[in-house]
Structure 1
Amino acid sequence: MDIILVPGFWLDASSWAEVTPALDAAGHRTHPLTLPGLESVDADRAGIGLRDHIDAVVAAIDSLEGRVVLVGHSGGGAIIHGALDARPNRVERAIYVDSGPLGEGGVINDELAADGDDVPLPPWEEFKDADLVDLGTGLREAFRARAIPQPKGVAYEQQHLHDERRYDVPATIIACEFPSAMLKEWIDAGHPFVAELGRMRDVEYVDLPTGHWPQFTKPAELGRAILASVERTA
């Protein structure tokens, strides 16, 4: 199975390096992506928006034969959902890592402070305690050293969806900060944060308790969770 992995904000393809070995060893073909504007700290991020990142994932899908699995972490969950909407007939499963599908008109996070076209990684003090579980001093230093500013347009631009066949594609939620039981309670309560998730017709939930960056705090466990979901799909 071809597995396309989309990183969250401030990260490039290399952020999946400790997650993919379990998938590769099982015979799957992994395709971690570096999205436009995330090539380097010095990359030009002017004019890059959410649609550009979605289009980059769609191009990756179109470059492969057959059906694929999409994996998106954090803001990458919104991006793979846009790609799923564009190519519902090509996606075998969408896996959202500490994230979920972003519905029509939603934005990933327009409250992040921007510096021109860039959204730099904020100071740790601005994150919630739940974000930082298991992300010790060494991991925080390594993360900040590798962090690349996110294009402002990706964070601020609205999601636009067109094909309701996206609701028929099986989905997996790998819940890290918030347990899956809480997500299900929010769906039952009609919370707008999970409205799009509530419309998905085939969703499995996997709990992986840790902070917001399991690819750093529990990479082997995350790799096994993704592998199990892929193999259940196959």
Structure 2
Amino acid sequence: MDILLIAGLWLDGSAWDHVVLGLEAAGHRPVPITLPGQGQGSASATLDDQVAAVLAAVDSASGKPMVVGHSAACTLAWLAADVRPGRIAKVALIGGFPAADGQPYADFFEPEDGLMPFPGWGPFEGPDSADLSEEARRDFASAAIPVPAGVTQGIVRLTDERRFDVPVLVVCPEFTSTQAQEWIAAGDVPELAKAKHLDLVDIDSGHWPMITQPAELARLLAVAALEA
């Protein structure tokens, strides 16, 4: 199966390099997506530009792909399901949840000169980054790509309720599947509360398992693809 991989903020497609190896070994065709404004194209890229890049990958896939979103990009994966509900076999969400219609995409930190830079490790101290070595932290920070405000401040628009028919897997790293279920049941994640086919799985990692647990993440995604 084609597995489309969308990394979260400040990352490009190379974030998936080690996961790609595991997925290929399992017989799948991984396709890391380098997003406009995050390693491709202009710093003036918008959320619509990123959505268009994901949709182009969906349309180019062989058969129905599984679309994988990490962190903020969980919303990009879900937007793809909204626009192409009949073309996607499954959505996998790693360490995040889709924003609801009308919400900003990822307006988490103050932009500087039209870009939202990586804010340093302070906001991510604790479970998010506890499993990252000092070397991994330095490498991440030095390679981090400031994300255009046109992306982070873009407003999410969801229009097709057939997205709720697309099977969803939530991979839970710095939080547990039990916590995620509680948040969904409490109404904190309205999009997933309406999903008709929802599974959750734990992975023993921080927020970036593609860095610290790539083999296990590849295994979980390969299993999910076989079940799609």
TM-score above 0.5, yes or no? yes
| Offset, 1:22 | 1.5
**Residue equivalent to 2:9:** 9
Q: Which amino acid aligns with 2:27?
A: G
SS in 1 for 2:18: coil
Q: Which amino acid aligns with 1:12?
A: D
Aligned partners of 2:108 and 2:28: how far apart in 1?
37
Q: Which amino acid aligns with 2:30?
A: T
Alignment of 1:1-234 (within 5 A): 1-39=1-39, 44-46=42-44, 48-191=45-188, 194-233=189-228
Aligned partners of 1:158 and 1:15: how far apart in 2?
25
Aligned partners of 2:210 and 2:143: how far apart in 1?
14
- TM-score in terms of structure 1 length: 0.93
Aligned partners of 1:25 and 1:159: how far apart in 2?
35
| Offset, 1:126 | 2.4
The percent identity for this pair of structures is 39
SS in 2 for 1:174: strand
Paired residues of 1:174 and 1:208 also in contact (CA < 8 A): yes
* Corresponding pairs, count: 228
| Offset, 1:199 | 0.9
- TM-score in terms of structure 2 length: 0.95
Paired residues of 1:179 and 1:209 also in contact (CA < 8 A): no
Aligned partners of 1:91 and 1:44: how far apart in 2?
28
Aligned partners of 1:95 and 1:186: how far apart in 2?
18
| Offset, 1:103 | 1.7
| Cα distance per residue 1:117-143 (max 9 Å; x no partner) | 211111111224121120121110111
Aligned partners of 1:26 and 1:126: how far apart in 2?
36
Paired residues of 2:120 and 2:141 also in contact (CA < 8 A): no
Aligned partners of 2:190 and 2:17: how far apart in 1?
32
* Unmatched runs of 5 consecutive residues or more in structure 2: none
SS in 2 for 1:9: coil
What is the root-mean-square deviation of aligned Cα atoms in Å?
1.3
| Offset, 1:161 | 0.9
| Offset, 1:188 | 1.9
Paired residues of 1:133 and 1:212 also in contact (CA < 8 A): no
Aligned partners of 1:217 and 1:91: how far apart in 2?
28
SS in 2 for 1:3: strand
| Offset, 1:204 | 0.6
